Structure 1
Amino acid sequence: MNANAPMSLYQLVSNNRVDDVIAYLAEQAYVDARDENGCTALMIAIQQNNLTLAKVLIEHGADVNARDVNQLTPYLCAGANGFHALLSLTLAHGADVNSVNRFGGTPLLPSSEKGFLRTVQVSLDARIPVNHANKLGWSALLEAVILGDGGYLYADVIEVLLDAGADIHLQDRDGLSALEHAKALGQHNVVALMTQNEQVKQGYSASLRLVKQHIRQFDYQAALAILTGNRHDFTNLADYFYYCGYLLTELERFEDAIVAYRQGLALSDDKAQFSLYIANCYRLAKQPQLALVEFDNGIAAKPESPFVLYHKSNYLRELGMHEEAVDTMTQLLSQQPHRYDYSFHRANSLRSLGRHDEAIVAIEHAIKHDERNGLYYQHKAKSLEIIGRLEQAIAVINHAIEVCDDCRELFEIKNNLLNE
């Protein structure tokens, strides 16, 4: 491109040129023009967690429900990344709370999976359905149990989901419920929350009950004042330092939060979870190298567990580091070859790298474990289509129509392939 050529709206947003974006929009009527990936300028602002520019674009009419080539909208993107302020902004400007991403998930599912407690609460307050299941057959509660660790953060996520009516008996595609998964994973405190909720809550100290109440109301300053003024109520100081760290994180005092989490880490038997909390602080502070170091510290602290390794893979994909994400998912599959969700995520990263033959092999592993799930066939057919094997792609969709539980999208995909 000519170095003297004017920047596009996407470039201005990417470079955080707020005044130039405002000037551009004053002269240009169409705010929802798309780049080669189908992303609007608003989607780019959301991906960069840029609240200022997102507000400017929405004020000029940007569509919070505009889908990119991957069927992602600014609203869904904000929720999946835990950008709670942006999620609230899109909700206030017409976000379709019943819309789902290409995996069939609402913002509540990925935020529960990743432990974004505030985003989970924003989603629930917006009445996003708590028991909606995605195409993997997982509800938000199943995600929080299967992909969580039952530690402080995930126990709090699960508690708010349960209070919103999450069904502990809802089964995944393997016929297992969240309660059964929690028992199998040894998440004893989560089992207690599911089966003895009121008794568990009665065991909280008065100050912890108040702290949790203020957290749900997003009044973090008041919660922190109560917490620090009642330190003597905490017989386990690791509990105290966890909540200090969490509240300081929400107040965007990331350095102070890291200090608190490190104090909790020193006192806790489960150091991996505190490493994850520290990594998330670095993530929010936009210090990816330090975040990745802390993920590795968590993995080293509990090498037998896939928990931190899986969440590192999520972060690598968020950074666009798909080569590293593929390696991480390969490592996870070597530990748990039956986890077809790992194979599915590995296939997605391989597709992002243009390695479609390998992606097809990876998705076939997922199909082997769940032969009636149309999502997997869709992804296999897409890779075949991209590499020019159209007849094979149609054959895959035809087979899927014969065996899958839900064929509505499959018929649409078949028609699109036939019209190429």
Structure 2
Amino acid sequence: MEANIKETSLIHAVRLGDHELIAEQLKQESNLEAMDDMGRTALMIAVQQNDVDAVTQLLLAGSDPNNRDHTELTPFICAGANGFSTSLKLMAAAGADITSVNRFGGTALLPAAEKGYLQTVEMCLNVGVPVNHVNHLGWSALLEAVILGDGGKLYADIVQTLHDAGASAQLEDLDGKSAVFYADAQKQDRVLGILTDTLEDRQHPAIREAKELSCEGNYHAASEVLEHALETAGDNLDLLYNAGYNLSAQERYEEALERYRQALAVEPEALEFYFYIAGCYRLMNEKEAALSEFDKGAALSLENSFFLYHKSNYLRELGMHEEAIDVMATLVNRHPSRYDFWFHKANSLCSLGRHEDAIAAIDYAINLQPDNPLYQKHKEQSMILLERH
């Protein structure tokens, strides 16, 4: 019993973000890998809270970055999926398995590319996460960035980064379609130009200089270059995007938000900037503000499901599965042939214990992609849980 009290105390200290209390508990703690009722270790909770100091304390004490929670998620993959680049780098240095996969068969790189975390994509590649790994949906990081991206400035940079790292543009998913096919079908002209090596380099010289500096980790100097260029070039959307991104990479989120809002004032139809604003709020842990920005983008692009999908993703991260299901219901009504949408809906239903509904949703995915064993596995899990209840 005493050990359990100590274990609970460490996890409680991490939840509080009390670093002095964490240090005290670590002096007494014999089991760093004690878990809460969700299978999360103290390290996993620290990562989820983006508490870099706590992550550092726990890793120095010997916490394992490879332990899995009840959803088969490791702290390392969790950092990638949430855009927490510093924690990801720390865990890689502490012995994290960079090739480990989540329950969907994806490495840390895949969700980072899917969700638009450019800095984390770069970090994953820097620590050696394989660039062409394919998950159980048949998608690589490049395919995810194209299929689930909007082809805008941020996703074009992610595609360029993956392309430069050797990502295969011809690798086909389970439907026999490549990133080139999807980029063309979705009219992502800039992305298509990158994938086919036909994109003309029309970047402002300041952007090229800033990218070289940021690649060296010198984001402050990159920001200075971009801010100086904005003083002379006026309201240039590419400069404003890059200025905002560099500020965000330095955790100067309020300043980044100013640049993104400035871009929308210049070009109200540049809807991708709502996504960038939402991304800042996510990293600031301002949940309602982030959800509001997703809603603004969705309301202004009714024919495009990009904002709704990423809102549903964020809701699932927050554990707001009822709200996520409502969004996914809209998405599957719009796109009944998207097996991945049905799959995500099924997962949220399962998380709420609505196993009959989850089985019905996963059956749609199975009908659309009958050869994918992932769907059958999740259906069997829901059937087992249904019988238990």
Whether TM exceeds 0.5 here: the answer is yes
Matched, 1:272 2:271: yes
Aligned partners of 2:105, 2:63: CA distance in 1, in Å?
24
Alpha-carbon distance change, 100 to 255 in structure 1, aligned in 2, over 3 angstroms:
same
TM-superposed CA distance for 1:232, in Å, is 6.8
Residues 243-270 of structure 1 deviation map (CA, whole Å, 9 limit, x = unaligned): 1211111121211111110111122364
Count of aligned residue pairs for this structure pair: 384
Aligned partners of 2:115, 2:136: CA distance in 1, in Å?
18
TM-superposed CA distance for 1:234, in Å, is 5.0
For 2:160, the equivalent position in structure 1 comes to 159
TM-superposed CA distance for 1:233, in Å, is 7.4
Asked whether the 8 Å contact 2:247–2:253 carries over to 1, the reply is: yes
- Secondary structure of 2:200 counterpart: helix
TM-superposed CA distance for 1:312, in Å, is 0.6
For 1:255, the equivalent position in structure 2 comes to 254
Asked whether the 8 Å contact 1:205–1:233 carries over to 2, the reply is: no
Q: Provide the aligned C-alpha RMSD in A.
A: 1.7
Give the aligned residue type for 1:253: R
Asked whether the 8 Å contact 1:104–1:133 carries over to 2, the reply is: yes
Matches within 5 A, 1:37-52: 37-52=38-53
TM-score scaled by structure 2? Answer: 0.95
Asked whether the 8 Å contact 1:271–1:298 carries over to 2, the reply is: no
Residues 217-257 of structure 1 deviation map (CA, whole Å, 9 limit, x = unaligned): 33211111111222377586111211121111112121111
Residues 294-342 of structure 1 deviation map (CA, whole Å, 9 limit, x = unaligned): 1111111211100111111111111111100000111111111111101
For 2:76, the equivalent position in structure 1 comes to 75
Asked whether the 8 Å contact 1:150–1:190 carries over to 2, the reply is: yes
TM-superposed CA distance for 1:35, in Å, is 1.8
Alpha-carbon distance change, 24 to 240 in structure 1, aligned in 2, over 3 angstroms:
same
Between 280-289 and 155-164, report the one with greater CA deviation: 280-289
Asked whether the 8 Å contact 1:207–1:233 carries over to 2, the reply is: no
Matched, 1:135 2:136: yes
Residues 21-57 of structure 1 deviation map (CA, whole Å, 9 limit, x = unaligned): 2111111211111122221111111111111111111
Aligned partners of 1:160, 1:303: CA distance in 2, in Å?
30
Asked whether the 8 Å contact 1:272–1:308 carries over to 2, the reply is: no
Asked whether the 8 Å contact 2:207–2:239 carries over to 1, the reply is: no
Aligned partners of 2:381, 2:116: CA distance in 1, in Å?
31
Matches within 5 A, 1:169-188: 169-188=170-189
Residues 66-115 of structure 1 deviation map (CA, whole Å, 9 limit, x = unaligned): 11121111111111111001100100100111111111101110000001
For 1:149, the equivalent position in structure 2 comes to 150
Between 246-255 and 355-364, report the one with greater CA deviation: 246-255
Asked whether the 8 Å contact 1:239–1:264 carries over to 2, the reply is: no
TM-superposed CA distance for 1:123, in Å, is 0.7
Give the aligned residue type for 1:351: C
- Secondary structure of 1:8 counterpart: helix
Asked whether the 8 Å contact 2:281–2:289 carries over to 1, the reply is: yes
Between 267-276 and 361-370, report the one with greater CA deviation: 267-276
Asked whether the 8 Å contact 2:332–2:338 carries over to 1, the reply is: yes
Aligned partners of 1:304, 1:102: CA distance in 2, in Å?
31
Alpha-carbon distance change, 188 to 35 in structure 1, aligned in 2, over 3 angstroms:
same
Asked whether the 8 Å contact 1:117–1:156 carries over to 2, the reply is: yes
Asked whether the 8 Å contact 1:79–1:110 carries over to 2, the reply is: yes
Asked whether the 8 Å contact 1:71–1:101 carries over to 2, the reply is: yes
TM-superposed CA distance for 1:214, in Å, is 2.2
Give the aligned residue type for 1:301: L
Residues 168-218 of structure 1 deviation map (CA, whole Å, 9 limit, x = unaligned): 110011110000000000001111111125x533x3232221122223333
For 1:411, the equivalent position in structure 2 comes to none
Asked whether the 8 Å contact 2:207–2:242 carries over to 1, the reply is: no
For 1:358, the equivalent position in structure 2 comes to 357
Aligned partners of 2:65, 2:349: CA distance in 1, in Å?
29
Matches within 5 A, 1:16-415: 16-197=17-198, 200-201=200-201, 203-231=202-230, 237-268=236-267, 270-388=269-387
Q: Identity of aligned pairs, percent?
A: 47
Asked whether the 8 Å contact 1:148–1:307 carries over to 2, the reply is: yes
Asked whether the 8 Å contact 2:235–2:263 carries over to 1, the reply is: no
Aligned partners of 1:255, 1:232: CA distance in 2, in Å?
19
Q: Which structure would you say has the larger Rg?
A: 1
Asked whether the 8 Å contact 2:219–2:246 carries over to 1, the reply is: yes
Aligned partners of 1:236, 1:305: CA distance in 2, in Å?
26
- Secondary structure of 1:387 counterpart: helix
TM-superposed CA distance for 1:10, in Å, is 1.5
Between 265-274 and 327-336, report the one with greater CA deviation: 265-274
- Secondary structure of 1:263 counterpart: helix
For 2:10, the equivalent position in structure 1 comes to 9
TM-superposed CA distance for 1:348, in Å, is 0.7
| Residue segments in structure 2 that go unaligned for 5+ positions in a row | none
Residues 345-395 of structure 1 deviation map (CA, whole Å, 9 limit, x = unaligned): 1111111111111010111111011111111011000011112279xxxxx
